[in-house]
Amino acid sequence: MSVKTSQTTPAALPPSVFTLSPTAQLEALYTIIRDKTTSRGDFIFYSDRIIRLLVEEGLDHLPVVPKTVQTPTGSTYEGVGYEGKICGVSILRAGEAMEAGLREVCRSIRIGKILLQRDEETTLPKYYYSKFPEDIASRSVLLLDPVLASGGSSMKAVEILKEHGVPEERIIFINLISAPEGLKAFCTKYPAVRVITGWIDKGLNEKAYILPGLGDFGDRRYCL
Ligand code: URA
């Protein structure tokens, strides 16, 4: 049976935005994590499955160079190898949930951290702390945050990475779910950053939660 999937795709996505193929399998995974009756254990298990798909998609965007190897049959194979070094950077707290998925495919990858918190007076994200590999300016960065809602936190994170010398072209922002408003704001401000998103939802409510969304990702993963 073919299933009609329900992703809201803005008419023309900016060229820097890449989505996972909205297959029935992917929609089934999202249906589980959106369901408010899903247990914390299942939320972790099924969101991890989506994270793994997203990380694989993100790795597709890393630069490669020609690489020739000899195979056990005595043949020469002209393939490719990754060019340069990479690192992950997670936006705390929710972004930490994506680190294990990244480590599963990039064994000893270095991971930096950025701690931001919403300033209740201004509603803007306030910067508290960051720690990066010393040579981050020469690495490609996979920026990890599961939710792109209004875009405030991810835009602040890119600003901090740029201050540390990472050019926009070398940042790949990976998230599970995004709102069109945040996606538009982010891509307008940072058109050269590639965005890998698993699903684009309908929009935001007055409290900046994504609709239909999945609730507070960090609470569902760590607290509920
Ligand atoms: N953060 C979340 O975890 N969920 C939303 O819907 C918006 C922000």
Q: Is residue 108 part of a domain?
A: yes
**Is 118 marked active-site?**
yes
209 CB less than 6 Å from ligand 1?
Answer: yes
Give the DSSP H or E segment for 43. Answer: helix 40-59
Supply φ then ψ for residue 185, to 5 degrees: -60, -45
Give the DSSP H or E segment for 210. Answer: strand 210-211
Nearest alpha carbon, ligand 1 atom 3: 216
Q: What angle do CA 145, 151, 153 make, to 5 degrees?
A: 60
E strands, 132-205, where?
139-144, 147-148, 171-178, 194-200, 203-204
210 CB less than 6 Å from ligand 1?
Answer: yes
Residue 124 has pLDDT above 90, yes or no: no
CA atoms within 13 A on the CB side of 117: 5
Domain count, the chain: 1
Give the per-residue pLDDT at 122.
77
ipTM score of the complex? 0.95
Characterize 41-74 residue by residue with b for buried, 16 or more Cβ atoms within 10 angstroms of its Cβ, and e for exposed. eebbebbbebbbbbbebbbeeeeeeeeeeeeeee
Host domain of residue 127 = 17-223
Mean pLDDT, residues 108-134: 91
210 Cα: distance to centroid of ligand 1 (angstroms)? 6
User: Quick one: which atom of ligand 1 is closest to the CA of 219?
Assistant: 3
> Partners of 69 in the beta sheet?
77
Determine contact, residues 11/35, Cβ cutoff 8 Å.
no
* CATH classification at residue 203: 3.40.50.2020
Q: Is residue 125 part of a domain?
A: yes
33 CB less than 6 Å from ligand 1?
Answer: no
State pTM to two decimals.
0.93
Q: Is residue 91 part of a domain?
A: yes
In this predicted structure, which of 28-32, 115-119, 207-211 has the lowest mean pLDDT? Answer: 115-119
Q: Is residue 122 part of a domain?
A: yes
Place of tokens 């597709």: 60
Q: Is residue 187 part of a domain?
A: yes
Mean pLDDT, residues 98-105: 96
**Is 188 marked active-site?**
no
Q: Is residue 161 part of a domain?
A: yes
Q: Is residue 6 part of a domain?
A: no
Q: Is residue 113 part of a domain?
A: yes
In this predicted structure, which of 7-16, 62-71, 97-106, 171-180 has the lowest mean pLDDT? Answer: 7-16
Nearest Cα residue to 145 out of 163, 134, 133, 160: 160
Q: Give per-residue pLDDT as tens, 39-84.
A: 999 999 999 999 999 999 999 999 999 999 999 999 999 999 999 8
